[in-house]
Structure 1
Amino acid sequence: MMKKVLLLLAISVLLLSCAKRIDYSVLQNINRESYETANAVVVIDSTGIDLESSGKYVSTQHKLVKILTMKGKAWYSEATFGYFTLYDTVIVKMARVISPDGKVMNVPKDDIKVVKIPAFGKFFLPNVRMKKIIFPNVE
């Protein structure tokens, strides 16, 4: 019965996917002086879910984070999404990085990987994976 159930989980990490609709000049106002105790500021964190009557669903995530410190860089230089391979699929449609000078860089496909979940250590679960996005040149 479980094999007949197809659950599609498509997570799209779209940093700055709305570049033509959002005025990113507001990022210039987010700085270390304005947020003295912050390591990073989450500007946008949006998740939408489209559920079909069959039980399939698509989850879309948009996130924009302004990095302020090295600790913030450590926290947000990677994104991970765990999933069960028999029922889920994770698709990254787009991931981007904006440099401090405003240059937009797409994350190379080589920096989007499927890995075994390390938290299980010796307990290998063959169908549990993690999609990992490594954001290059985060400053």
Structure 2
Amino acid sequence: MAEAAQGRVQAAVESAVQELERERIRGLQGTMFRCSARCCEDSTASMQQVQRCIERCHAPLAQAQAIVTAELENFQDRLSRCTLHCNDKAKDALDAGTAEMKVRGQLDACLAACGDDHLRLVPAMAKKMKDSLGALQQ
């Protein structure tokens, strides 16, 4: 049961990231490459000027990648804390003498609940990332 919840969360996050990549990141990548090409076409610029120009072109994409990475890390941290909480509860139950099979069932149910709770957070996380990336493009 917990594996199924984990799979659903992973699929939802992957789907959200793929949609974000199609809707926002690809446009930023195209803009970055076109901008970088224009930098290289300036025959009067020095090598350092061209390099700075290219770095400026890359900045919005780097910001976008940082936004996505930070949100995904935050989401993963929250999910990990929930999982650790379940493991702590299971250890406490075993230490208190609860039967191992019962503890396994409780742990599985707790982990499944973590997955389900975090699955509900994916749309809000995706919206936050889309909004943040939309602000970069303006």
TM-score past 0.5 threshold: no
Structure richer in strand, relative to its length? 1
| Greater helix proportion | 2
Higher RCO structure (Cα 8 Å, ≥6 apart): 2
When normalised by structure 1's length, the TM-score is: 0.25
Give TM-score scaled by structure 2 length. 0.25
Structure whose CA Rg is larger: 2
